[in-house]
Amino acid sequence: MKPPVLNVDVSTDTWTQLLSLRDGARSCNGTVRDDPAFLLYGPVVARNGAGHLLSQVGQSLDGRVATASGDARDVSGADGIRHLHRCRALVDAVVVGIGTVIADDPSLTVREVDGPDPQRVVIDPNGRLPASAKMLSDGHPPPIIVQGEDGPDRNGLDTIVVPREGRYLSAVAIRQELARRGMHNILLEGGGTTIAIFLGAACVDRLHVTISPLIIGAGPAGLRLPEVELLSDAMRPETHVYDIGSDVLFDCQLRRA
Render each residue's pLDDT in the chain as its tens digit; 257 residues. 566 788 999 999 999 999 999 998 887 777 788 899 999 999 999 877 778 999 999 999 999 999 998 888 889 999 999 999 999 999 999 999 999 999 899 999 999 999 999 999 999 998 999 999 999 999 999 999 999 988 888 888 999 999 999 889 999 999 999 999 999 999 999 888 999 999 999 999 999 999 999 999 999 888 888 888 899 888 889 999 999 999 999 999 997 54
Per the CATH hierarchy, to which homologous superfamily does domain 5-253 belong? Dihydrofolate Reductase, subunit A (3.40.430.10)
Helices (H), the chain: 12-22, 36-45, 78-90, 98-104, 171-180, 192-200
Domain ranges of the chain: 5-253
Largest CA distance in the chain: 55
Question: Which amino acid is it at 187?
Answer: L
Q: What are phi and psi of 233, to 5 degrees?
A: -95, -5
Could you give the 3-state DSSP secondary structure of residue 204? Answer: coil
Could you give the angle at the alpha carbon of 44 between the alpha carbons of 42 and 50, nearest 5°? 110
The helix (run of H) or strand (run of E) holding residue 2 is none
Helices 12-22 and 78-90, axial angle in degrees (round to 10) = 30
Cβ burial of 20 (10 Å; 0-12, 13-18, 19+) is: middle
Spatial contact of 24 and 116, defined as CB atoms under 8 Å apart = no
b/e code 45-62 from CB counts within 10 Å (16+ = b)? beeeeebbbbbbbbbbee
- Predicted TM-score (pTM) of the model is 0.93
Spatial contact of 186 and 54, defined as CB atoms under 8 Å apart = yes
pLDDT given for residue 155 in this prediction: 80
User: Phi-psi region for residue 105, left (φ > 0), alpha (ψ -120 to 50) or beta?
Assistant: left
Q: Distance between CA 207 and CA 199 in Å, rounded?
A: 9
